[in-house]
Amino acid sequence: MLPVNQGSDFARESDFIYMSLFWLSVFFFVGITFATVYFSWRYRYKAGRVTPHQTHNTALEVIWTVIPTIIVVGIFFWGVNGYMKFAVAPGEAMEIQVVGKQWLWTFEFPDGTRSVNELHVPVNKNIRLVMSSEDVLHDFYIPDMRIKRDIVPGRYTQEWFRANDQAIGEHVSTCAEYCGKGHSDMHAKVFVDTAADFDKWMATGGTEYLDYAPEAWGKIQWDRKGCSTCHSTDGSQNKGPTWKGIWGTMVKLNNGQSVLVDEAYVRESMMQPQAKIVAGFDPIMPTFQGLLRENEIRGLIAYIKSLK
């Protein structure tokens, strides 16, 4: 009856309780209004008519106390039941971190994949959103899923949902707590993917890399993946060789040999760091096998190339 999508089980339940309350209110509003108008007319002033002396009517008083009490307490427990289902995520839920800040959303998936203003979820899977704020109050609201909860600075809040088959496709989410002048622009797209599409999206690590030139993407990975803790990009020496000016040069290894710094060498150094150790450094680098995607490796190589 409402012209909106019901993308989750909550949607059906919440619409049902909402419409029930609506029609219950309509019923009593119409009933009480008509009774008021009718009695006003029926017992209007008439010359010579005297109102009989009334004290009370026990049967009537019991009815108008007991029936509304049953209705109101019933609604309370109905609401609590729905709220408890929403408040506590089932144990086997995929956990996605949601960070709100003025005025955008970032999402982080279990494997470390991050995206900005774009949330992908697999269909028919329990999704638990663990939410935090970097600045002020926000509220992550996905209308089609009927989920909405405040995000409070310095605290974690959570909400969960399970998108159904007819929800496959694109939805919107929005911030539902006034958070400054960009509040009304604080939208993210929510994509409900089939299992195969979701895997494909995860394999490329989202589409964030498309927003950057390869060397800029590499610089971001240098920072995010922790390369920056050992490799400087300004020529200063750290626990690992600096990246500045090494591309295309021959570097001396600790076994006396030399190797050309090219794509193959850089890639091997990420995947099997112990294979070739640069002279003067300890073999302390961990492998990044399985931790870097192709687009990230390409980005890092482009970044090293750009550091003349």
Q: For residue 183, state whether it binds ligand CUA (rule: CB under 6 A).
A: yes
Using the minimum distance from each CB to ligand CUA, give the nearer residue, 90 or 180. Answer: 180
Q: For residue 177, state whether it binds ligand CUA (rule: CB under 6 A).
A: yes
Using the minimum distance from each CB to ligand CUA, give the nearer residue, 149 or 305. Answer: 149
Q: For residue 185, state whether it binds ligand CUA (rule: CB under 6 A).
A: no
Q: For residue 175, state whether it binds ligand CUA (rule: CB under 6 A).
A: yes
Using CB under 6 A, which residues numbered 92 to 151 contact ligand CUA? 100, 103, 138
Number of Cβ within 10 Å of residue 11's Cβ equals: 23
Q: CB 9 → ligand CUA: shortest distance, Å?
A: 27
Instruction: Give the C-alpha distances (Å, rounded to integers) separating 75 from 10, 14, 17, 145.
Output: 17, 13, 9, 22
Q: How far apart are CA 259 and CA 43, in angstroms?
A: 106
Give the single-character DSSP code of 50: -
φ and ψ at residue 146, rounded to 5 degrees: 55, 40
Using the minimum distance from each CB to ligand CUA, give the nearer residue, 89 or 99. Answer: 99
Q: How far apart are CA 48 and CA 16, in angstroms?
A: 53
Piece of the chain touching ligand CUA by CB under 6 A; list 26-34, 68-76, 175-183, 244-252: 175-183
Number of Cβ within 10 Å of residue 303's Cβ equals: 23
Residue with tokens 């539902």: 176
Q: CB 166 → ligand CUA: shortest distance, Å?
A: 29
Q: For residue 186, state whether it binds ligand CUA (rule: CB under 6 A).
A: yes
Q: For residue 167, state whether it binds ligand CUA (rule: CB under 6 A).
A: no
Q: For residue 297, state whether it binds ligand CUA (rule: CB under 6 A).
A: no
Q: CB 86 → ligand CUA: shortest distance, Å?
A: 21
Q: CB 186 → ligand CUA: shortest distance, Å?
A: 4
Using the minimum distance from each CB to ligand CUA, give the nearer residue, 138 or 293. Answer: 138
Reduced to 3 states (helix: H, G, I; strand: E, B; else coil), residue 82 is: helix
Read off the tokens for 276. 């070739």
Piece of the chain touching ligand CUA by CB under 6 A; list 8-16, 47-55, 171-179, 213-221: 171-179
Read off the tokens for 301. 């190589």
| 13-19: long-range contacts, CB 8 A cutoff, minimum separation 24 | 13/82, 13/85, 14/82, 14/146, 15/146, 17/78, 17/79, 17/82
Enumerate binding residues for ligand CUA (CB under 6 A). Answer: 100, 103, 138, 175, 177-179, 183, 186
